[in-house]
């Protein structure tokens, strides 16, 4: 089992869309960034990459590379999924928190979880997204920006195959060999 943690923050500005978890949320301000600036997905990607010891999103998607300008972070998350799979890891679960004074995010969280699960090809119950305010304290409380934190657990295909072969029901849980 491997665990990763991720954090991201972006400034709120006018004339940008607010996209969190792949959901466009109506708001007077949006997040500034080279891509769509989806802080939730950026924190999740960093957690996944960290757990797999594959660096961070800056390494894989540098903000100096024009191919990532304005790109959907859902596409980047799908690429991270491919990197994780290539290394032989399975995503066990993701738990993430978005810190924003406004807007209220509860109405959008189910869709965010669905988008994340679909992009990662995992079950929706493996993804948990929460939202909180900072009671008007700090840059998020003053509505200057939004931040997000995420943690994930990965297991390797090897770990899962050993668990199956070590089961009490035989080699694969259903036969009587072994």
Cis amide bond preceding 103, omega within 30: yes
Tell whether residue 9 is among the known ligand binding residues. Answer: yes
Strand, helix or coil for residue 14: coil
153 beta partners: 3, 93
Tell whether residue 64 is among the known ligand binding residues. Answer: yes
Contact 63, 46 (CB under 8 A): no
Tell whether residue 8 is among the known ligand binding residues. Answer: yes
The sign of the torsion formed by the CA atoms of 79, 110, 42, 35 equals positive
Interatomic CA distance for residues 80 and 64, integer angstroms: 19
Tell whether residue 65 is among the known ligand binding residues. Answer: yes
Tell whether residue 34 is among the known ligand binding residues. Answer: yes
> Which residues contact residue 7 at a Cβ distance below 8 angstroms, ignoring those fewer than 6 apart?
43, 46, 147, 148, 149, 150
Tell whether residue 95 is among the known ligand binding residues. Answer: no
Tell whether residue 133 is among the known ligand binding residues. Answer: yes
Tell whether residue 82 is among the known ligand binding residues. Answer: no
Tell whether residue 10 is among the known ligand binding residues. Answer: yes
Tell whether residue 58 is among the known ligand binding residues. Answer: yes
28 burial level (CB within 10 Å; 0-12, 13-18, 19+): exposed
Residue 11: CA count within 13 A, CB half-sphere: 6
Tell whether residue 36 is among the known ligand binding residues. Answer: no
Tell whether residue 28 is among the known ligand binding residues. Answer: no
* Residue list, annotated binding site: 8-10, 34-35, 42, 56-58, 61-65, 132-135, 139, 142
* Residue list, annotated binding site for a divalent metal cation: 8, 10, 42
């Amino acid at each position: 089992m491997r665990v990763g943690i991720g954090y991201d923050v972006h400034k709120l500005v006018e004339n940008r869309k607010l996209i969190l978890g792949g959901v466009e949320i109506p708001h007077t301000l949006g997040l500034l960034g080279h891509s769509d600036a989806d802080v939730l997905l950026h924190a999740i990607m960093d957690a996944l990459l960290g757990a797999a010891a594959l660096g961070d999103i800056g390494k894989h998607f540098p903000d100096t590379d024009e191919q990532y300008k304005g790109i959907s972070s859902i596409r980047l998350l799908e690429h991270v999924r491919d990197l994780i799979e290539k290394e032989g890891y399975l995503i066990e679960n993701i738990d993430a928190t978005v810190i924003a004074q406004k807007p209220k995010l509860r109405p959008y969280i189910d869709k965010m979880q669905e988008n994340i699960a679909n992009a990662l090809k995992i079950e929706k119950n493996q993804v948990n997204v929460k939202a909180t305010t900072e009671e008007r304290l700090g840059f998020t409380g003053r509505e200057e920006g939004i931040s997000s934190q995420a943690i994930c657990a990965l297991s390797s295909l090897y770990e899962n195959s050993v668990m199956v072969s070590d089961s009490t029901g035989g080699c694969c849980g259903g036969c009587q060999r072994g």
